[in-house]
Structure 1
Amino acid sequence: MELTPERLATQLAAEPLRSAYLIAGPEPLRVLEAADALRAQARTQGYAEREVFEAEGNQREPDWDALHASLSSPSLFSARRLIELRLPTGKPGKQGAELIAAFCADPAPDVALAVIAGEWSKSHAGKWSEAIGRIGHIVVAWAVKPHELPDWIERRLRARGLRADRDAVQNLCDRVEGNLLAAAQEIDKLALLSDGQTIDAARMEALVADAARYDVFRLVDAALNGQAMQVSRMLAGLRAEGEAVPALLGMVTMELQRAAALARVQARGGNLMSEFKAQRIWDSKQALYKRALQRHAAPRWERFVVAAGRVDRIAKGRAAGDAWQALERLLLAVAEPRALPLLV
């Protein structure tokens, strides 16, 4: 059964956890929140153990043998387990597809499998995803189109107990330029700053202007724009304000992936303007990306995406190092090619 991310939470509360879920799509925030809803409901229903499988280091695929062993072995610590398989490309390959299909054909009673993918289209589907659909749910997080964004923002404002008139909503739409992660962060700030009254355009402008001096959106823009000193200054400010590295990485990784996709198109002589449209990069930000693409070729952007994954592992205690230092080195390398030797 196929659901929207917003419908998933309602469905999860209405039934026992199913044996398999596929959560995928090009909109990172909707994928993240759907996965979080599944994790929360799993805990509520007694799935006290969670295992995560994903490609690490130089590996191109997860450890399929380890996943197979986990899916077929009884738990040592918990009666029920949630096993997450993360596929950034949305493609498990032949071995992974066969493993998923085999599990779905005979699922273990104490295991729920969640396949979480960062990309999705009709070309990604196959017998493995059909197998998930037969015993569980498929949740596709399609991108919110520009004309849908005002309604999406209004719904999210109401969910946070906020009211805003249409001009105020449009003001926020213009600020975030189609970026749902940016919109979600701004709305969370508004929930803290609002006095409970309906927000009009002038009040929205004032509240947004009163937001934190440093934020991750300006940080990423500074890196793409080649402003190395600004990057270091903003990171120091974010750290002083109590931000955590994992909270910043979602936006950083998404923008690096966007740049990598643009660089691949440019390298093969494709239509960059079409890719801007596909990536939902608004006109006002295209010059920023073009400047960034002039500094680095496609392989280097792929290297930046891999480095972001390493920062994430450091931040979560799964690799050695200082997460703040690793993040700064990554963003400095993006901003200034001479800083590339720092990126180890």
Structure 2
Amino acid sequence: MTAVRPGDIEDLIRRGPDPRIPVILVYGPDTGLVTERAKALAESFLPDATDPFALVRIDGDLLASDPGRLCDEAGTVGLFGGKRSIWVRPSSRNFAPAIEAVLSIPVTDTRIVLEGGDFAKGNPVRALCEKSQRALAIPCYPDDERALGDLIDRTLRARDLRIDREAREVLVRSLGGDRRASLMEIEKLALYAAGQGSVTLDDVEAVVSDVAASVLNTLVDAAFDGRIEVVERDSRRFRLEGLDPAQVLGSALRHATAMLALRLDNPEKSSSAMAAAWRGLHFKRKASVERQLGLWGPARLRQAIDILAQAVLASRRAEPALAEAIASAALLRIAEAGRRR
């Protein structure tokens, strides 16, 4: 079995997998990290990653309908000889027969990188790669604090920037969940701080938190915290600015769902411990979210989710003016429930 442990993955990619192992599966729930690692593994095998004859991209759906195509590509000799990489992109269909076939033939000077989704243990492609001595299976889960810290330092260092300790801690807490999204935020921050040598806390607060999203989070937090006056004020503001009511309700629904998942997964933890485990939670929201987690138990959160889900459905069917009233009424119901501590 050649499944790679999460703690060994970065070292493996830096030094390069054993060239005698031709097939590498990269899979997991963090799609940005899956793509980043698949790209690195496919390109690092080649002397020149820009050579279109050396790097071949194949869609997984094509292999599902033509399993022999992968063996044909793996056995093809490049126009000018040398190493080749075959990068198989994600598929909605099962292409395990193509993988099973290529694992049964000798493959030299070719690396086959499979970009997969969030494959469960019993997925046929994952099972084949984990059982074969000629394949690797590399999981990609959301970055922890250490991995995010390394990503921040590495990305900023490449742009001749360092980051203050406090700013780094805040940035780590603001990221997570998807490597691609995290990298985009760090690169945006690097562009903002270009030429000043160091990234400060003011830079992080100015760039990383989106203003519209921040105000929307304020409205959602106010509703679940029972602050009815703030809900009324911000609801009027969003109506005047023409924000889609479905966006407001969707944000509140995702928030309630995330809190319910935290409560169910951590029944013995305190509110502060659960808030600390919330990946990507902005530090300015932490105190409010702690109060909400202490106030809203699983049963009450299910009721809130039902209220919001019904409001989402009703707002989609209603005229714009009525949809705004439906969204405001739903948030006020949540706020009234939050006030009844």
Q: TM-score range by the shorter chain?
A: 0.5 to 0.7
Gaps of 5+ in 1: 54-61, 236-254, 298-333
Give 1:28-107 correspondences, 5 Å limit.
Answer: 28-41=31-44, 43-44=49-50, 46-53=53-60, 62=61, 65-73=64-72, 82-86=86-90, 96-106=95-105
2:11: which partner in 1?
7
CA-to-partner distance for each residue in 1:48-79, whole Å, 9 max, x for gaps?
431112xxxxxxxx466424032244599975
**In the alignment, is the contact (CA less than 8 A) between 1:30 and 1:141 conserved in 2?**
yes
**Structure 2 gap ranges (5+):** 222-234, 267-273, 294-300, 319-341
1:113-154 deviation per Cα after TM superposition (whole angstroms, max 9, x unaligned): 32222325656586402355x224332223333466445433
Contact 2:42 2:55 in 1 (8 A): no
Give the equivalent residue in structure 2 for 1:339. 316
**1:171 equivalenced with 2:170 (yes/no):** yes
Identity of aligned residues (%): 20
What RMSD in Å do the two structures reach over aligned CA positions?
5.4
Aligned letter for 1:26? P
Alignment of 1:134-173 (within 5 A): 134-146=133-145, 149-173=148-172
**2: distance between equivalents of 1:16 and 1:216?**
48
TM-score (norm 1): 0.53
Mark the CA change 1:165 to 1:214 in structure 2 (over 3 Å): closer, same or farther.
Answer: closer
Distance in 2 separating the partners of 1:196 and 1:112 = 40
Q: What SS is found at the alignment partner of 1:118?
A: coil
Q: Distance in 2 between matches of 1:216 and 1:135?
A: 49
Instruction: Tell me which residue corresponds to 1:27.
Output: 30
Q: CA deviation at 1:22?
A: 0.7
1:204 paired to 2:201:
yes
What CA distance in whole angstroms lies between the structure 2 residues aligned with 1:81 and 1:32?
A: 15
TM-score between the two structures when normalised by the length of structure 2:
0.53
Cα offset for 1:166?
A: 1.4
How many angstroms apart in 2 are the aligned matches of 1:186 and 1:103?
A: 39
The structure having more radius of gyration, on CA atoms, is 2
AA matched with 2:316: A
Do 1:85 and 1:116's aligned partners in 2 also have CA atoms closer than 8 Å? yes
Query: CA shift at 1:170, angstroms?
Result: 1.2
Give the counterpart letter for 1:128 in structure 2.
L
Matches within 5 A, 1:167-246: 167-176=166-175, 180-197=179-196, 199=198, 203-205=200-202, 207-211=203-207
> Which letter does structure 2 place at the counterpart of 1:185?
M
Amino acid at match of 1:22: L
Residues 111 and 155 of structure 1: CA distance in aligned 2, closer, same or farther (over 3 Å): closer
Query: Would the aligned equivalents of 1:172 and 1:183 in 2 still touch at CA under 8 Å?
Result: no
Structure 1 pair 111–187 and aligned structure 2 pair: CA distance change class (3 A): same
What displacement does 1:293 show?
7.0
- The answer to whether the 8 Å contact 2:63/2:95 transfers is yes
* Cα 1:24/1:127, change in 2 over 3 Å: closer
Cα–Cα, structure 1 residues 160 and 82, in superposed 2: closer, same or farther, change >3 Å? same
- Per the TM alignment, residue 23 of structure 1 is displaced from its structure 2 partner at its CA by 0.6
Q: 1:195 to 1:50 in 2, by over 3 A?
A: closer
1:82-117 superposed Cα distances (whole Å, 9 cap, x missing partner): 2415258xxx8xx64444223212155586432222
1:78–1:50 CA distance, 2 compared to 1 (3 A): farther
Matched with 2:228 is: none
- Partners of 2:212 and 2:128 in 1: how far apart? 37
Q: CA deviation at 1:187?
A: 1.6
